[in-house]
A and B are shown apart, each in its own frame.
Chain A
């Protein structure tokens, strides 16, 4: 009797996609550093402008927090992406092993000891399923982390709009504040675009694996 092996396909090259995502998000780190630097500059400007720029204090606090969060989340994405890559590679190897053993069993036909293949083949099938379950969990975590970065970035874009309004209320002295707000907006858009490309990559592989 032959063991039936599952034909469900997983993302064969998730292990490549995952490290590509990690590498893409690595580029977010300098952007986060830039946001952090912008926060410090804005803080200095706010101190100099005293009362008239007090509306910028919560904005600088937010920018600092945002930079820290982006750095932390990027680190988390890197760790999870590495696990996705490792698990995906193990799954591909286990599935290939299972397929080769199944091929051997099929070729053997009614060989005298064909039944002895059943146990290792069943073990391989269990291993493949277990790795697939683990991969699904890691992918869920990865998607959640990207969601979290996206939420922070959307908030940053809103804060940048508020900051520009605040800067406009300062009249001619608001030029430097406006420049900071534009910088924050640009940085946020950059991060958003990188996250979007990671999402596209992830979605393409998830679709292929279903």
Chain B
């Protein structure tokens, strides 16, 4: 599994890393990006992935931080590609806390959560400290999950944006978007079909436009940096989502 350092603050010691593009991943499993924020004495795994990729993820992580430093896990929502490895992390990091939307507690516990402490994130979002670094849990409800959060780091100006910005591309693609216009072809259907609500989408865009973002880091596909972040927000604003309902309405009308 590849790991790439996204940012490193020489003063605070905070680092963002992305893990993914695992060449040994079973073919039919969707490729995912996992993230790690490591400060001097602590670390947090963000959407650590499914059971199938756990060994690759574990082996990648211990190149960058000792396990005892990983004191927090974040799950943006309840999907298996996000957090079905929980039962394994639960045994590997028994001292950790899991930050997850409150709505999904009873569901996520089905993956196994005997040791890790479940910390529910309220609907309005919250903040947490990793050493001295303050991280924000930004609401992204109904995008696509009914209780959903993203993580914003105002120091590094990185927004981990879950399924927003996700693209379905095969193969060992570059970590960052290089040609935004060409990249929209890989994102369009995903956003139109997975995201159910234009209202939720527009509320999120309004909230995120207020943040200063250098890197937008989705859970699938390439990351956005610099002007591509605003390009993405403009593109998403103009996009109609929830198309399965439109298809249904058209079928009924016919």
Contacts and interface: CB of A to CB of B under 8 A. Distances in A.
Interface of A: 93-94, 97, 100-101, 103-109, 111-117, 119-120, 123-124, 127
24 contacts: A97-B88, A97-B91, A97-B92, A100-B55, A100-B58, A100-B88, A101-B55, A101-B58, A104-B58, A104-B62, A105-B58, A106-B59, A107-B55, A107-B56, A107-B59, A108-B63, A112-B63, A113-B63, A113-B66, A117-B67, A120-B92, A120-B94, A124-B91, A127-B91
| Among B56, B66, B68, B92: residue with most chain A CB under 10 A | B92
B59 A113 contact: no
A101 B87 CA distance: 12
Contacts of B92: 97, 101, 117, 120
Which secondary structure dominates where chain B touches chain A? helix
Contacts of B65: 113
Given A97-B88, A101-B88, A101-B92, A114 B55 contact: no
Contacts of B60: 108
Interface residues of B, number: 22
Contacts of A119: 67-68
Nearest to B68: A116
B91 A116 contact: no
A20 to B, nearest CB: 24
Nearest to A96: B88
Interface string B84-96: 0001100111100
Closest 9 CB pairs of A and B: A104-B58, A107-B59, A108-B59, A116-B66, A103-B55, A104-B55, A113-B66, A116-B67, A113-B62
Nearest to A118: B67
A124 B58 CA distance: 15
Interface of B: 51, 54-60, 62-68, 87-88, 91-94, 112
A100 B87 CA distance: 11
A113 to B, nearest CB: 4
Contact of B59 (A94, A104, A124): A104
A164 B120 CA distance: 71
B67 to A, nearest CB: 4
Contacts of A111: 59, 62-63
Contacts of B88: 97, 100-101
A100 B91 CA distance: 11
B68 A93 contact: no
A115 B58 CA distance: 12
B112 A93 contact: yes
Contacts of A109: 59
Nearest to A121: B92
A101 B94 CA distance: 14
A136 to B, nearest CB: 22
A57 B55 CA distance: 69
Contacts of B51: 100
Nearest to A114: B62
B58 A97 contact: no
B112 A104 contact: no
A104 B57 CA distance: 8
Contacts of A123: 91, 94
| Among B59, B63, B88, B94: residue with most chain A CB under 10 A | B59
